[in-house]
Amino acid sequence: MSIERFSLGLIGHPLEHSLSPQLHRTALQELSLQGDYLLYDIPPLPAGWADLDALFKKMRSGEIQGLNVTIPHKLSVILFLDRLTPVANAAGAVNTVMQQENLLVGDNTDVMGFIADLQRQIPDWLIIQQKKDRTALVLGAGGAARAVVYALASSGWMVWLAARRPKQAKDLIEDLKRKSSDQILDITPISFEQNSIQAIAPDCHLVVNATPLGMFPNIQDNPWPEGSAYPKNTFIYDLVYNPAETALIQAAHQAGLQAANGTGMLAEQAALAFEIWTGKPAPKEKMLEVIVNSIRKLP
């Protein structure tokens, strides 16, 4: 049965600076599809329980066709869903919810969105690096980090995971290895302290910031340990995209390193979600253009 009007949206908190509405409204317009994309600012559980429950009831009734999920709900929404896709189950986090056979299904397009953009951004010197020898340091252990760590580890990278709460990093790794069908995930937790990161940094080909540090309005924050030197021959990927040049990226450039922000990943994951909901090929280049232009206009 064809859908005459798509009702889509984003769950998260806070959401006042989200670019997702512009992205998806542009995609709907480009494909001449009727619909809209709304923001659902819902506080963390337990305060947001009733609002989440009401929202998913609307989705079950057909009032809403698709929902994205961002901080702080990428794990908590799982409580309201009927099942997860293999990728979402392995990653242990959901960023996209869809309906399949009257069931609410959680997916994770962050995984493929990150890998797709990383492959587009990655320097030539790293492309030729043997997969079995690629090493990455991921900063953070939240929902975004879960997707990034799983994406890298399942693609053959050796991953170090640094989080300010060591138990959170260890729990993430244990959960990924338990849920993943790939039993060769090579992930090691390390301390977020300067000495620990400095010890492994020289061997890193890639550093990914999966924390919100540096995001507007706290643009002065940098997740890299203060006083630590940046490793040579390392590519820096910051999932933060507002501002376009974060404190981490600025410091990386000053150290002579190549770096990228999260705009490409945002466009890729959004396009994948859009295709899941509508069954139509997303206008990815147009969506990326919208992000870049929108970020330029942000304070």
- CATH number of the domain to which 36 belongs: 3.40.50.10860
Position 57, amino acid: K
Let me know if residue 299 belongs to a domain.
no
Clarify whether residues 141 and 77 are in a common domain.
no
pLDDT tens digits for the chain (299 residues)? 567 899 999 999 999 888 999 999 999 999 999 999 999 999 999 999 999 999 999 999 999 999 999 989 999 999 999 999 999 998 888 999 999 988 999 999 999 999 999 999 987 767 656 666 899 999 999 888 999 999 999 888 999 999 999 899 999 999 888 887 666 679 999 998 888 998 998 889 999 999 999 988 899 999 999 888 898 889 999 999 989 999 999 999 999 999 999 999 999 999 999 999 999 999 999 999 998 888 877 66
**Judging by beta carbons within 10 Å of its beta carbon (0-12, 13-18, 19+), is residue 54 exposed, middle or buried?**
exposed
- CATH number of the domain to which 250 belongs: 3.40.50.720
Percent helix, strand, coil in the chain, to 5, is 40, 20, 40
Give the active site residue among 57, 58, 74, 179: 74
Let me know if residue 262 belongs to a domain.
no
CA–CA dist 132, 250 (Å, integer): 30
Q: What is the pLDDT of residue 190?
A: 93
Clarify whether residues 149 and 72 are in a common domain.
no
Clarify whether residues 57 and 181 are in a common domain.
no
First to last CA, the chain: 43
CB contact at 8 A, 98 and 66: yes
Clarify whether residues 240 and 281 are in a common domain.
no
Q: What is the pLDDT of residue 143?
A: 81
Let me know if residue 226 belongs to a domain.
yes
Range of the domain at 61: 6-108+270-287
Is 177 tagged catalytic? no
Clarify whether residues 280 and 238 are in a common domain.
no
Clarify whether residues 134 and 247 are in a common domain.
yes
Clarify whether residues 161 and 38 are in a common domain.
no
Q: What are phi and psi of 188, to 5 degrees?
A: -130, 130
Clarify whether residues 36 and 94 are in a common domain.
yes
Q: What is the pLDDT of residue 58?
A: 96
Let me know if residue 293 belongs to a domain.
no
Q: What is the three-class DSSP state of 136? A: strand
Let me know if residue 16 belongs to a domain.
yes
CB contact at 8 A, 94 and 37: no
Place of tokens 């509508």: 278
CA–CA dist 37, 28 (Å, integer): 9
Token code pair at residue 228:
């630590």
Clarify whether residues 51 and 164 are in a common domain.
no
Clarify whether residues 72 and 172 are in a common domain.
no
Query: Around Cβ 155, how many Cβ atoms within 10 Å?
Result: 16
Close Cβ partners of 101 (under 8 Å, ≥ 6 residues apart): none
- Backbone torsion region of residue 222, taken as left when φ is above 0, otherwise alpha when ψ lies between -120 and 50, otherwise beta: beta
Position 230, amino acid: Y
Let me know if residue 297 belongs to a domain.
no
Place of tokens 């290895």: 177
Let me know if residue 60 belongs to a domain.
yes
- Give Dmax over CA atoms of the chain in angstroms: 59
CA–CA dist 196, 176 (Å, integer): 23
Q: How far is CA 77 from the centre of its chain?
A: 16
Token code pair at residue 23:
């992205």
Q: What is the pLDDT of residue 122?
A: 86
- When divided into structural domains, the chain yields a total of 2
CA angle 25, 30, 36 (to 5 degrees): 25
Let me know if residue 166 belongs to a domain.
yes
Clarify whether residues 215 and 102 are in a common domain.
no
Clarify whether residues 234 and 275 are in a common domain.
no
Q: Which residues of 240-271 are buried (b: 16+ CB within 10 A; e: fewer)?
A: bbbbbebbbbeebeeeebbbbbbbbbbbbbbb
